[in-house]
Amino acid sequence: MTPEEFEHCRYLPVNALPYWREIGEFIHACVMETAAETDRTERDLYAAATPFVLWCWRSRGVPLERSRIFRGSLVEEFIHLAETGYRKSSKATHRGILWKMLEVVNPAGASRPHRAISRSTPQDPYLPHEIGALNSWALSQGTVRRRHDARALLALGLGAGLATREILEVRPLDIRQDGDQLLVAVADRRREVPFFPEWARTIADIVDDVEPLQWLFRPGRLNATAGQVTDFMTRSRTLLDIRPSRMRTTWLLRHLTGGTPPAELLRISGLKTFAALDKIAQMAPENDEPRNSSKNFSSP
C-alpha cells in the first residue's frame, strides 16, 4: 500500500515513508475502524498512530498485530520515552488519541492506568539569532503554501504572542487596522492583541492571499484541533526548536523589557495574574530588566 492511496484524508506519512509498504496496511485498517467508532478524524488518527506504530515495530521489534501493538504499556512507554521533544499538550493529545484506538481495536489492552505527564517547565525565549533562523526556515519551505503557513505561524506567535489554540482559530476577518496598529481579535473576540510592527507587515501580506472565512494558518482545514501545529512541524523535517510556547514567552519578555505596563500586558495576553509575569521577568538579562516595574509583579 502506497502513501498516494491515502490522499483522501490528506495525510502523508513523511517520516514513515521508507517503511510505509510494511506498516501502512496495518495502520490504515486500525485508523479506519477507529474513525468509524469515534469522533476522531482520520487525519488526527494517522498523525498519532503512524509514529507510534513505527516506533513499536522498528525500535521495539513488536510484530504488527493489534494485540501486541495496541497495549497500554506500549502507549505509555512511547509517550514518556519516545516523545521527549514534544510539549506536554501534544503528548496529552497523542496519548488521548492512542487510547481511543486501544479501546476500539484492542479493548483488552486498555486496562492499564495512565501515568501522569510531568508538568512542563517555562520555555526559554528565542534569542535574536534564533529568530533569524526561524525566518530563514519559513522562507525556505518547499512550496508557496508551506511558506505561507510557516510565516503565519511565526507572525501570530512572535508578533502577537498567541497560544497554540488561538493561532489555529485566527481568520483574516479577525485582523483589523486601528490607526498605526494592526490588531488581531482572539479568544472569541474577547480581546484584541496588537502586532509588533515588523510582524504586522508579514500578516498584512498573508491576509491578502486568504479568503476572509478561511483559517490564516493552514487554510483549508475543516476545524481547529489540537496537534495541527505539531503535525505541520513534523512534516517540516527541521532540527530547529519551533514551538508556539517559546514564541509566546519571547513576545511576553519583549513587552516587559520594552516597557509595556504589566496591567496592559495582562489584558492583551489573556493571562490572569501578575504572578504569571514574574516567571517571564526572571528570564530578562540583568542589564535589560523591565522598565516600568520592579521584577516582582505579584502585586499591581
User: Domains of the chain: which residue ranges?
Assistant: 3-110, 128-281
Report the interhelical angle of 244-258 vs 262-269 (nearest 10°): 150
Q: What top-level class would CATH report for the domain 128-281?
A: mainly alpha
Q: What is the pLDDT of residues 107-163, one digit of tens each?
A: 887 665 555 544 445 578 999 999 999 999 999 999 999 999 999 999 999 999 999
Confidence of residue 1 (pLDDT cuts 50, 70, 90): very low
Q: What is the pLDDT of residues 49-90, one digit of tens each?
A: 999 999 999 888 899 999 999 988 888 888 877 766 666 777
Confidence of residue 241 (pLDDT cuts 50, 70, 90): confident
Burial group, residue 3, by CB count within 10 angstroms (0-12, 13-18, 19+): middle
Given this model, what pLDDT does residue 8 score?
Answer: 44
Could you give the CA distance from residue 53 to residue 63 in angstroms, rounded to a whole number?
10
Whole-model pTM? 0.61
